[in-house]
Amino acid sequence: MNKKNLIVANWKMNLKTNDGVKLVQHVLDNGYDSDVIEVVICPSFLSLEAINRTVTKSPISVGAQNIFWIAGEGPYTGEVSSYLISGVCDYVIIGHSERRTILNEDDVLINKKVVSAIENDIVPIICVGETETNTSESDVKSMIFEQIAYAYDGISDEDAINTVIAYEPSWAIGTGNNNDSEVINRVCLECIRGGLNELYDSRVSNLVRTIYGGSVTGSIVSEIVQQEFVDGVLVGGASLSPDGFLEILRNSY
Ligand code: PGA
């Protein structure tokens, strides 16, 4: 297996800046094999610059957890645009299920955010997936096809290639119930790559990285990333402990 797995830490609304810096320093001090995995840390907006300074000259990248849908500057109190985070972040998480449900973000808004990220050369990590456990695989497929069709509206082939899709069934997030690794693999192949293949072609669908999120821990990550069509994981809770996160990094291949 020679793919480089992408491991994204989504800290959500956790870790003050000092604690986040300590966690990242612990990872850098103890090490992991950066030839086989790529690590992206997504702290709160408040910690982006400090984490960015901490990872300078290391292979770790920084991502934001959200952006506003207008790309530049302007009178939008409380918002942070892709322009403002450019230079500090390489990635941004878009359409996380917590934002879809708690903040009512819909597919049209998510598409605007994807366009905005691309405008400032930030790689969008677009979250898709079903909400209810026991959803049939054909329903999962039609939901994900629809989410992808909206998210990529107006996005060129060349821009699409440089995106990441995270399969995150919301029933698996923060519950301790991760999805089965073979199901994850099938969803990544048939629903995500299949959806991209309909919108674009096989070149694009093969190059877009597809990762999984939902109760990933150090003890199950290896089984998930060894699946052929899974290119990494998006980790919430288990990325908040220095040793727990290191365990994930060391088991991610
Ligand atoms: P979890 O969160 O690992 O705590 O389930 C994943 C996510 O929400 O991205």
216 lines ligand 1 (CB under 6 A): yes
Q: How far apart are CA 160 and CA 181, in angstroms?
A: 26
Q: How far apart are CA 209 and CA 206, in angstroms?
A: 8
Residue 174 CB neighbours (<10 A): 13
Task: Look up tokens 């770790």; give the residue.
Answer: 60
Cβ atoms 243, 222 nearer than 8 A:
no
Q: How far apart are CA 163 and CA 204, in angstroms?
A: 10
The string of pLDDT tens digits covering residues 140-186 is 999 999 999 999 999 999 999 999 999 999 999 999 998 899 999 99
Confidence of residue 62 (pLDDT cuts 50, 70, 90): very high
Sequence spans of domains, the chain: 5-250
Confidence of residue 66 (pLDDT cuts 50, 70, 90): very high
**What are residue 41's phi and psi, to 5 degrees?**
-105, 125
Residue 253 has what pLDDT? Answer: 84
Cα dist from 241 to 153, 155, 248, whole Å: 37, 37, 11
For residue 47, give the DSSP letter. Answer: G
Token readout for 78 is 């409380």
For ligand 1, the distance from its centroid to the CA atom of residue 56, given in whole angstroms, is 26
For ligand 1, the distance from its centroid to the CA atom of residue 213, given in whole angstroms, is 6
Question: Which atom of ligand 1 lies nearest, measured to the CA of 239?
Answer: 3
The string of pLDDT tens digits covering residues 68-114 is 999 999 999 999 999 999 999 999 999 999 999 999 999 999 999 99
Question: Which atom of ligand 1 lies nearest, measured to the CA of 175?
Answer: 5
Residue 1 has what pLDDT? Answer: 45
State mean pLDDT over 228-252. 97
Cβ atoms 169, 125 nearer than 8 A:
no
95 lines ligand 1 (CB under 6 A): no
Cβ atoms 153, 113 nearer than 8 A:
no
For ligand 1, the distance from its centroid to the CA atom of residue 42, given in whole angstroms, is 12
In CATH, which superfamily holds the domain spanning 5-250? Aldolase class I (3.20.20.70)
State mean pLDDT over 62-68. 98
Cβ atoms 39, 249 nearer than 8 A:
yes
Packing angle, helices 137-151 and 107-119, rounded to 10: 50
Question: Which atom of ligand 1 lies nearest, measured to the CA of 234?
Answer: 9
Residue 180 has what pLDDT? Answer: 93
